[in-house]
Structure 1
Amino acid sequence: MKRQRATVIVEIDGKILLVENRGGLLLLPGGGINADESHAQAAARELTEETRLLCASLQFLFSHESQTNCHHVFRASASGTPLAGDDAMALHFFARGDLPLSARMSAATRQIIERFEDTCPAAAG
């Protein structure tokens, strides 16, 4: 059975937030879902643990099956100052279309972001 994972997409000033882990991979904030929490609770917890942002609202977008995980993907609005926490070595912001779709990103991260960009238009502004 695949590991259940809450994955969070946060856009701040039109840029998508990515977490750089200890191995140098760029990932969307997220992680495992504890037995005593909902997918949404896990998404909010992981966002705070990895970025120190407080989740103001969550919207479930879709589920995504990767080779090892079942990602429950949420879009979040958040408050606070983003700072790398927990397993995060650094935080990075990339504008839509300028994401480094490279070897530094997992296939699942690339696929989730591509699906997000296809299904969730950027806010007008």
Structure 2
Amino acid sequence: MKRQRATVIVEIDGKILLVENRGGLLLLPGGGINADESHAQAAARELAEETGLLSDSLQFLFSHESQTNCHHVFRASASGAALAGDDAMALHFFAHGDLPLSARMSPATRQIIARFACTREQGQGPEKRPPGMSPAVMADSSA
């Protein structure tokens, strides 16, 4: 059974925020979903823990299955100062075509970012929300 994870895309000045883990791998902010929280609540919590940013709003984009995880991907508007925290060793900002950073990403992170870029270019909206998530939670993580 695949682990359920909340994954967050935050763009700052046109670049996507990445966290560096202890092994030097670059990932999108995110992590496991606790039994007592929704996917959106987990996304907001993980974003705050790993980057110090507070999500002003979250929009569910899509689910992505990797070999070991089912990522519930959200796009966040966030405020605050981005600082590495919790299990993030450093923060990086990825611009399309940045091959050195891309080479350090997990395969799932590369795939999620490519899928995000593709849906954005095609002007597609978010996909159907995950089960149990109300529209209000999708629009505002504080709900």
Correspondence for 2:63: 63
Distance 1:32 1:120 in 2: 26
**Secondary structure of 1:23's aligned partner:** coil
TM (normalized to structure 2)? 0.81
Matched, 1:119 2:122: no
More helix, by proportion: 2
Which residues of 2 match residues 1-125 of structure 1 at below 5 A?
Answer: 1-98=1-98, 100-102=101-103, 104-121=104-121
- In structure 2, the gaps of 5 or more residues are 122-143
Distance 1:46 1:101 in 2: 22
The AA in structure 2 aligned to 1:28 is: L
Aligned length: 120
Q: Which runs of 4+ in 1 moved over 3 A?
A: none
Residues 101-123 of structure 1, C-alpha deviations (whole Å, 9 max, x = no match): 21x211101100000010014xx
Distance 2:34 2:62 in 1: 19
Instruction: Quote the sequence identity (%).
Output: 87
More strand, by proportion: 1
| Contact kept in structure 2, 1:14 and 1:96, CA below 8 Å | no
Tell me by how many angstroms 1:95 deviates. Answer: 1.6
TM (normalized to structure 1)? 0.93
